[in-house]
């Protein structure tokens, strides 16, 4: 970094002292679930749910980059929006620096928005075309009511410089920039309040390959310079390999494998991870012979009605009856290497026998719990159906809007989500089109 820019960055608020030391968990996620309700009919009764995220448990350590990979629709973006609290979780716990943020209200989340920021995939739709770069990057200061030493303009120009943009372009509009430059503007905006953690959802997939490397390198440099913690969501395994310290592989709302990058790439244990890895092209023709390509058949099943047991079993060449009956728990087969599979590959042989016993016991416990849950659910559904019927009759006879408690509740839930999501989008001033359409 030039002398000029290092002097300049001094006007931006100084980074807050990290509360967690190196290697300690900054973010802890426990059994996180997000089910989007599917509603039908005049009364908008819930007839099912998209199980986008279905029980995620993981940590993000101070200063590391956790890469999250998986096919389209497996719940990566939903996970990202949950941990930045752009979405309200259905259940589970999210702890940031020891504080439970799972169900914090919009007002209580506001100060925390300074610490957790998001970079969106599409630099074309995440920047307001009617605002100048100065307004876009300066928005977080305005929204949080922060006064900077030499004024917002100087702070914004420092941020532009930090992200490799010309500070003179302060008054330009997004359409005057290329895709890579726009993503840099998005990064500058995310950095404005010196966050501790940044969730980057497919930060380079909308960019040309030549530009991708520049943006990845910029993220790398900023991490070193500012001590940032990243969660990088991507479907490109080479990008994830380059940026990550640890990698989590997701399939249909669940983490199927999580490990240190080198361990995961050298000896992937879950058949799904193996299949993903084998799909990466090998540039060296002499190594092509030994490269066994695993072709996955079919599509990812619908998250509305996922397969029983192991979600991957319908596409897995190793699946047996056991996989349909018992959901494999995520267990550590090596230090720092967890996998959820009854028949893991590349696992140390001494731990396999042990794991099989553990997973059998855990599986039995899960099966028992599932049976109990099904019985409880059946009872609950019967009760709910009865209540709904009574409400429907009352609705038909008297005041229709007031007499449908379920629908009213669901609407309230949805509007809370919409408010949350709008507020969050505001905090970054990012009109993220995907979020707007989905939420």
Ligand X SMILES: Nc1ncnc2c1ncn2[C@@H]1O[C@H](COP(=O)(O)OP(=O)(O)OP(=O)(O)O)[C@@H](O)[C@H]1O
Considering only the stretches 72-80, 326-334, 357-365, 423-431, report the one whose residues sit in contact with ligand X under the rule CB under 6 A.
72-80
The answer to whether residues 68 and 420 touch, using CB atoms and an 8 Å cutoff, is no
For ligand X (CB under 6 A), the number of binding residues is: 15
Nearest distance, CB of residue 206 and ligand X, angstroms: 12
Q: What is the DSSP letter of 288?
A: H
Contact set for ligand X, span 299-328 (CB under 6 A): 303
Distant-in-sequence, close-in-space partners of 320: CB < 8 Å, separation ≥ 6: 342, 343
Nearest distance, CB of residue 51 and ligand X, angstroms: 8
Considering only the stretches 71-79, 263-271, 308-316, 345-353, report the one whose residues sit in contact with ligand X under the rule CB under 6 A.
71-79
CA pair distance 331, 336, nearest whole angstrom = 10
Length of the chain: 439
With CB under 6 A as the contact rule, the residue among 70, 138, 363, 430 that binds ligand X is 70
Give the residue carrying structure tokens 């199980």: 51
Considering only the stretches 68-76, 171-179, 329-337, 343-351, report the one whose residues sit in contact with ligand X under the rule CB under 6 A.
68-76
74 contacts ligand X (rule: CB under 6 A): yes
Considering only the stretches 65-73, 98-106, 153-161, 391-399, report the one whose residues sit in contact with ligand X under the rule CB under 6 A.
65-73
Contact set for ligand X, span 27-46 (CB under 6 A): 36
CA pair distance 60, 57, nearest whole angstrom = 10
Count of beta carbons in the 10 Å neighbourhood of residue 2: 8
72 contacts ligand X (rule: CB under 6 A): yes
Q: Judged by CB, which is closer to ligand X: 167, or 186?
A: 186
Q: Sheet containing 25-40: give its strands across.
A: 45-61, 25-40, 91-96, 99-100
Considering only the stretches 66-74, 221-229, 266-274, 402-410, report the one whose residues sit in contact with ligand X under the rule CB under 6 A.
66-74
438 contacts ligand X (rule: CB under 6 A): yes
3-class DSSP state of 41:
coil
The answer to whether residues 15 and 226 touch, using CB atoms and an 8 Å cutoff, is yes
CA pair distance 46, 76, nearest whole angstrom = 24
Tokens of 333: 């087969």
133 contacts ligand X (rule: CB under 6 A): no
Q: Judged by CB, which is closer to ligand X: 126, or 439?
A: 439
Which residues in this chain contact ligand X in the complex, by CB under 6 A? 36, 50, 52, 70, 72-78, 235, 303, 438-439
């Amino acid at each position: 970094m030039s002398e000029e820019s290092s002097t300049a960055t001094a006007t931006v608020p100084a980074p807050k002292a990290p509360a967690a030391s190196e290697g300690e968990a900054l973010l802890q996620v426990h059994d996180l679930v997000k089910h989007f309700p599917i509603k039908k009919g005049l009364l908008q009764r819930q007839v099912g749910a998209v199980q986008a995220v279905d029980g995620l448990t993981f940590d993000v350590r101070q200063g590391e980059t956790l890469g999250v990979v998986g096919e389209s629709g497996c719940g990566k973006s939903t996970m990202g929006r949950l941990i930045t609290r752009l979405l309200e979780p259905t259940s589970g716990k999210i702890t940031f620096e020891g504080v439970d943020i799972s169900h914090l209200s919009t007002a209580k989340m506001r100060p925390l928005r300074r610490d957790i920021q998001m970079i969106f995939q599409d630099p074309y739709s995440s920047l307001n075309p009617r605002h100048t770069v100065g307004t876009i990057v300066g928005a977080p200061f305005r929204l949080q009511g922060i006064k900077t030493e030499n004024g917002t303009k100087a702070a914004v120009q420092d941020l532009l410089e930090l992200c490799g943009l010309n500070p003179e372009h302060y008054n330009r509009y997004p359409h005057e920039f290329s895709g890579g430059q726009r993503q840099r503007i998005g990064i500058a905006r995310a950095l404005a309040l010196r966050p501790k953690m940044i969730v980057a959802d497919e930060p380079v997939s909308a960019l040309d390959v030549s530009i991708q490397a520049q943006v990845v390198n910029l993220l790398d440099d900023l991490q070193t310079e500012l001590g940032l913690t990243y969660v990088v969501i991507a479907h490109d395994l080479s990008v994830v390999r380059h940026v990550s310290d640890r990698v989590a592989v997701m399939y249909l709302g669940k983490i199927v494998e999580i490990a240190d990058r080198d361990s995961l790439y050298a000896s992937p244990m879950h058949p799904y991870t193996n299949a993903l890895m084998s799909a990466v092209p090998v540039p060296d023709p002499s190594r092509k012979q030994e490269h066994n390509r695993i072709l996955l058949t079919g599509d990812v099943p619908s998250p509305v009605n996922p397969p029983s047991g192991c979600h991957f079993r319908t596409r897995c060449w190793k699946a047996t009856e056991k996989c349909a009956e018992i959901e494999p728990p995520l267990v550590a087969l090596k230090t720092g290497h967890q996998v959820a599979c009854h028949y893991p590959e590349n696992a140390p042989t001494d731990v396999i026998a042990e794991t099989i016993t553990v997973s059998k016991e855990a599986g039995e416990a899960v099966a028992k719990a599932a049976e109990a849950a099904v019985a409880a659910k059946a009872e609950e559904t019967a009760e709910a159906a009865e209540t709904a019927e009574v409400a429907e009759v009352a609705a038909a006879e008297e005041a229709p809007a007031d007499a449908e408690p379920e629908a009213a509740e669901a609407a309230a839930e949805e509007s809370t989500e919409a408010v949350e999501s709008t507020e969050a989008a505001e905090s970054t001033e990012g009109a993220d089109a995907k979020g707007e359409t989905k939420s």
